[in-house]
Structure formats: C-alpha cells, structure tokens
Structure 1
C-alpha cells in the first residue's frame, strides 16, 4: 500500500509524521499521524498505542495538545492517531453539518445504513486495515494497546473489549460508555446503524461488559467538572456493571477537570506508563 508523507517533525528524540493513503475499507483517502520513538532508529521493534480522538477532531489534536511524546520516547512506545472519520467530497455528512454526526464523528463503527455504509467503516479500518499497514510499513511489533477520548474513549473500550487477543490493555479519558442510552449515541447509531437496537448493542461498552467472561486491564480517567459527564458520558453505568461482574476497572475521578485536552495532558503520562506495563 502506498503512503504519502504529508509532514514530519523531530520531537523528543524521535519523529512525528503524518501520512495519507487510500483506504479500501473506507473507500476514500485516509490520514493518520504516527510518533516513532528513538528506539526505532536504534533497530528496536516497539509496541504501538492506538489513540482514538473525539468528536470534531482529526489526527492532529492529540499529537499537538496531549504532550505525550517525552513519556512515549522514554518508554519506547509508538503512538498512532488515525482520523476520526472518512473524508472527501463524496463522503456523506450530516445534512445540517452538525458536529456530532458525519464528518469528524465516525464513532468507530461499521455503518450499515445508506449513504454512510459506503465510506463509514471505521471499526474495520481501526481493527484491521490500519494496524496491518502500520506493522508492514514501520519497525513495530505486533503488541498493541488502545486508548482514546470521549467518542474515542467509546471506540477504545468497545474495540478493546470486542478484540481481547488484539489489545494488551485499554484506557480512556472521559469515554461515552453507554451510547445506546445517551443523545450522542442515539443520533449516531440511528443514522449509521438504523433503528434495530440489537445492532446498537454491538458498539456499547456496557452491553459488551455484560457479556464478557474476562477483560483486559482497563484504566479510565474522568473529570468531575466535565460538562458532558451526566448527560452523555455516564461512567457510573459501566462501573456498576463491572462491580456486578466482579471486574476491576482502574477508574479515577478528578475534581475541577473538564472535557478538554488540558485534562488529557495532565494525566497522559499515567496512561502511557499503564500501557507500558502490558506492552512487554
């Protein structure tokens, strides 16, 4: 598969690079960013953390705002940040151009409703096409973990739970844990998946946790001043199910922190260290 390099910058002894490529599953050109830690230049194969961003974001937000490079370089972790949706003139969008559906809001699922099914196959892109590309083109190992924020936290949890042998660990900042029960999820799932709610459950962390017999290590960070905490994120729903199942979630709530990248940058080192413990 042909990669087109869009940019590169040396940082923390390694390299941040952006690439575009033609995606066969999304049927359009996709963009991703990658941080290559200095260990790669020394000939080491390094593990990969896949970062999934939230609504309105692209591949650039986390890489520019999270402040993750120094710790990732220290730990020898490659970070891959894909775009949050397919893009292009032929890619369907929300009819009113809303921020929470369509472009920038792929929800990391495989759409089955027209016209979105033609391009919005983000679940297959994240779980199959992108890691196959990364492992073929860069000096990385097949050890993977996954993390994300908000919509991307939803993506990290659902993808990790659905693919327990593919991801060593899962983490999330301010995730949408129960999308079948909140407005963001209702809008996205009805548009991408239709009105059959049995299909919705396949992309709901709470429903997946109910069916799980075991789980990978999971870390969740939540700000208590988050403006979306009670009407969109509802972390208690996931915590209650975990308690009923006897699963341990590493969950921390923080007074005063909101939904922004100021919150993520405050605790990203903690999450990188967490993943490093399982990416050995």
Structure 2
C-alpha cells in the first residue's frame, strides 16, 4: 500500500491510500480514518480498535463521505476507525457504460462480482470489499508497534444508496460466520432486482438470468438467513428523497421479512423533509455511530 496523503482531522488523521488489487486487477484508492485513540499514549496496546466500513453511493469516490458525512467526530467519540472504499475499479482499461451514464460502470460497481464481459475482468467488487481489502489493510497497519486496528473481526458496516444496498447485502451474505457485528444504511436500494437502478446494474454485471441476481438481493437473501440474538438492521430514509418511490422502496424489505426470523428486527425510520444528499446522511450519522458503537462493545 502507498500512502498518498495524511490529513489531520478532528483528533486523528485521515489516511489516503492506494494499492494494486488482486480482485479488480487495477489500482484502487481507499481512505482510512484513524481516531484519536490510535495516537493516544495511554491506549492499551493489547487492545484492537474496531472498524466501521462505509460504502458510498453512485458516482462517489472515497473522498465524498470522508469530507461530507462527518464520521470522524463520532469515530473519536467512541473509538473506532473508519474505512471508505472506492465504488468501482477505475482506469482507461476498465470497461465503462457505453451510453456514458452515471448509474453504471466506473463509479457504480454495485459491490457485486461481475460475471459478464466486458465487466468480469475488473468488476469484482464483492470480493474486493469483503475479502481482499480487510486483509490488505490488516497487513499494512498492523505490522508496527503502535495501536492495532481490527479490520476482520470487530467490524461493522454501513453505506448510502448503492452503498446502503452493498452494506445490507454484505452483512446478510456474511451473517452465518458473523463477518460484521452490525449493519445500518442510509437510503439503501433494498430490492435491486425490482427497481431500475438495480435491474440495469444486475443485468449488465450478472446477465439476464435472474436467479443469479438473488444471490445479492437483500429481499431474497434475508428470507434464507436465520436471525440470531437481538441483531437489528437500522435504516434511515428521507420522505423528500427524489429516488424514494422509484429506486429505494424500503417498504419492500419490510414486506420481505414478514413471517421470517427477521420480522421486527429491521428498523426503517422515514424522516420528514430530508432528501438523498449528504445533508441527510450527516444529520443521522451520530445515531448510526451510536448503534454501531454499542454492537462493537464500545458503549
């Protein structure tokens, strides 16, 4: 990994990194926020600092949430690190949407492993986010004598829009082995198989066979994942979100969990007057941070 830049922020530092990815076969960028506890002289060196992974939405880079969501204040408050991956592979050799639209291709990888050409060689975002990146970060940050960071065990996941979908999908697919301690989402695409954004992405990356889509669709996954303990999925969405009725449809996830072990364990909070922007996300980051801090044992 190459450190591109270190920026002091709040009580810690935002580290901008890049590395060659085995999964995507491209150079990938990722931002990591190290909270003030990482640099505290009295922090117990036998303890690991847990991590919250934030998956961004369409067109975003690792910088959007780093600059606009204000997670850093919360990371310092509770003592967790933040990981902000990119939303897709990038580069001149990486296939893009031939129509040049913003909701497919570069900047819109949808966190799946593509099976269709010309996207399959590079768009392996599920493996990148959930398998390769945690190992790569662990190797980079935990090879010295300072405080240790936990990228593989005490980890929570959240995301916005396309990233909210990616967070719920990854949480449910890794639920049996407790890959993530908790999951939340801001305005997620909960049923991509049945909305335009998801249908375009799944069709392009996974092909026309809809049975392949079910392996990533939260509304299909949650019916086959047995809920345990008191785990909850926390979701916020604004009632003034312009994408609410066509692309997000959070009510479909609530319908999907009826008569399953997840019934009453998915909480959708529809908040009045909020849209799809980072004004919305940043407003409710403190509630999501507290939610994850409790599940990570920090409260």
Q: Secondary structure at the match of 1:107?
A: coil
Distance 1:26 1:81 in 2: 17
What root-mean-square deviation, in Å, do the aligned CA atoms of Structure 1 and Structure 2 show?
1.1
The question of 1:84 aligning with 2:87 is answered: yes
Distance 2:19 2:63 in 1: 16
Other-structure match for 2:49: 46
Distance 1:26 1:191 in 2: 17
Other-structure match for 1:178: 191
**Poorly superposed stretches of 4+, deviation over 3 Å:** none
Other-structure match for 1:152: 163
Distance 2:225 2:19 in 1: 35
Aligned pairs, number? 278
Structure 1 counterpart of 2:220, from 193, 204, 207: 207
Alignment of 1:90-239 (within 5 A): 90-138=93-141, 139-141=148-150, 142-164=153-175, 165-214=178-227, 216-239=231-254
Distance 1:251 1:168 in 2: 19
Q: Secondary structure at the match of 1:118?
A: coil
TM-score by length of structure 1 reads 0.97
- The Cα of 1:250 is off from its aligned counterpart by 2.3
Distance 1:124 1:257 in 2: 33
Distance 1:6 1:277 in 2: 33
Distance 2:181 2:138 in 1: 16
Distance 2:86 2:80 in 1: 20
TM-score by length of structure 2 reads 0.91
Gaps of 5+ in 1: none
Q: Any conservation in 1 of the 2:223–2:256 contact (CA below 8 Å)?
A: yes
Other-structure match for 2:144: none
Distance 2:48 2:9 in 1: 19
Q: Secondary structure at the match of 1:277?
A: helix
Q: Secondary structure at the match of 2:282?
A: helix
Higher helix fraction (1 or 2): 1
1:128-178 C-alpha deviation (Å, 9 max, x unpaired): 100111222222123111000000000000000000111000000000000
Q: Secondary structure at the match of 1:202?
A: coil
Structure 2 counterpart of 1:244, from 251, 255, 259: 259
Q: Any conservation in 1 of the 2:156–2:296 contact (CA below 8 Å)?
A: yes
Gaps of 5+ in 2: 142-147
1:205-229 C-alpha deviation (Å, 9 max, x unpaired): 1000111211642110010100000
Structure 2 counterpart of 1:264, from 281, 290, 299: 281
Q: Secondary structure at the match of 2:275?
A: coil
Distance 1:188 1:145 in 2: 25
